[in-house]
Copies of this chain bind each other. A is one copy, B any other.
């Protein structure tokens, strides 16, 4: 979790994991690039800016691996993966406005580069492109799966925004936010792949659990990196949660363990996230073991993800999914 880890090393690690599905991810990139060329006027330039910024492409990878686990190698997994990524990119573009972030993947956010108004509309455009891809597959249940997921994401975000600077936020509220915001889409990506492979309900449910638990682990780590990461490593604006009054797992855990006087001081710092107070908070979560607790809970979810794959026999996609669960909790960006 320290800034000494080299960014290039980190990227190489993820590329190693993706080795078995690399041709699929390349085709996914092709799909995403195509979306840009379909736009008129100023759209291609802006879509390309978002797509070329990169990202982990975790959701497309999950769709492909889940389909492969079920024995399906078809092109539809690439389409569903691209759709999941477009929905994800759309939420990132909108979230960066909501969180007033200025940096994403080492580059200015869409809102900063092209203006907030364009960012709002571009997010809408990316949503629609995602649903448009899904609609082309002639399977209304797939559209419905991702529609329900996107509804969850919006709900999670709205409810989190409405609870900003309300420092009585409970752990279960926080877990429900990240369930809606992140875990549901990763679960849906796995379920989407399972559907393409026509897996049984039980198997699809198991793969959905893998994705959901992976998403929970992923978001807890993301929120932890927001506290202790370094911007040159993560490539995005950090400390936005503190600046936006969003309580995350390490903060909630620590708050609930403080004596009244200390707690008052801690809440005072959270209420006024000046540079000095933010530094104080970061030292406090580090020293108190709150960061460690975040990592521990993330690891638990990652373990649950792996457990969900138990009933599947050993195979390259299963090994890759296990390795991704491992990677998620050790990543530094």
* B118 lies within 8 A of A120 (CB): no
Binds B, one of A59-67, A154-162, A231-239: A154-162
Q: How far is the CA of A155 from the CA of B117 in the complex (A)?
A: 12
A155 CB contacts on chain B under 8 angstroms: 39-41, 43, 125
Number of copies: 2
Name the CB-closest residue of B to A151. Answer: B128
CB distance from A136 to the nearest CB of B (A): 7
A24 contacts the other chain (CB 8 A): no
* A128 lies within 8 A of B143 (CB): no
* B132 lies within 8 A of A140 (CB): no
Hey, what's the 0/1 contact readout for A145-167 against B, CB within 8 Å counting as 1?
Answer: 00110110111011101100000
* A115 lies within 8 A of B151 (CB): no
* B40 lies within 8 A of A122 (CB): no
Residue in B117, B123, B140 whose CB lies within 8 Å of A140: B140
A253 contacts the other chain (CB 8 A): no
Within 8 A of B (CB), among A113-140: 115, 117-118, 120-125, 127-129, 131-132, 134-140
* A127 lies within 8 A of B125 (CB): no
A157 CB contacts on chain B under 8 angstroms: 121
A46 contacts the other chain (CB 8 A): yes
* A97 lies within 8 A of B117 (CB): yes
* A159 lies within 8 A of B40 (CB): yes
Q: How far is the CA of A180 from the CA of B48 in the complex (A)?
A: 21
A134 CB contacts on chain B under 8 angstroms: 143
CB distance from A257 to the nearest CB of B (A): 27
A209 CB contacts on chain B under 8 angstroms: none
* B118 lies within 8 A of A162 (CB): yes
Can you spell out 23 A-B residue pairs with CB atoms less than 8 angstroms apart?
A: A38-B151, A40-B155, A41-B155, A43-B155, A43-B158, A46-B158, A94-B124, A97-B117, A97-B120, A118-B158, A120-B120, A124-B153, A124-B154, A128-B147, A128-B150, A128-B154, A131-B147, A134-B143, A135-B147, A136-B140, A138-B140, A139-B140, A140-B143
Spell out A's residues near B (CB within 8 Å).
38-43, 46, 90-91, 94, 97-98, 115, 117-118, 120-125, 127-129, 131-132, 134-140, 143-144, 147-148, 150-151, 153-155, 157-159, 161-162
List of 6 A-B pairs having minimum Cβ-Cβ separation, nearest first:
A41-B159, A135-B143, A132-B147, A125-B154, A98-B117, A128-B150
